[in-house]
């Protein structure tokens, strides 16, 4: 089911940063949509900006499993996920298809 557009942000929430204008300061950081499959839907949810994850020149499967390790004594986690992604040509094609709805930067 398509996501309808969130209500317009109040003008006082607008932010200008890095030469770009954002409707609000709340964004979704890189990694959630690492293959740029739904940036426009995420923007319709009301985020002021959405980043895609690390994209490599060619597709990568990521590191072998297990990829996450808990360090209980240190109350920490080791992340060895790698940069699993569909590769730059595929991600770029998706972003170009969504270009009328998203801003490509970087």
| Residue 14 neighbours by CB distance under 10 Å | 13
Cβ(54)–Cβ(85) below 8 Å:
yes
Query: What are the tens digits of pLDDT across the range 20-71?
Result: 899 999 999 988 998 999 988 898 899 999 998 889 999 999 899 999 999 9
pLDDT value of position 2: 63
């Amino acid at each position: 089911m398509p996501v309808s557009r969130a209500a317009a942000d109040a003008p006082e929430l607008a932010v200008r940063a890095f030469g770009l204008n954002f409707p609000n300061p709340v964004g979704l950081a890189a990694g959630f949509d690492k293959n740029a499959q739904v940036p426009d839907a995420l923007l319709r949810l009301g985020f002021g900006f959405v980043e895609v994850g690390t994209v490599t020149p060619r597709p990568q499967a990521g590191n072998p499993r297990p990829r996450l390790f808990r360090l209980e004594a240190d109350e920490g986690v080791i992340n060895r996920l790698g940069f699993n992604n569909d590769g730059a040509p595929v991600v770029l094609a998706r972003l170009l298809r969504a270009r009328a709805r998203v801003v490509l930067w970087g």
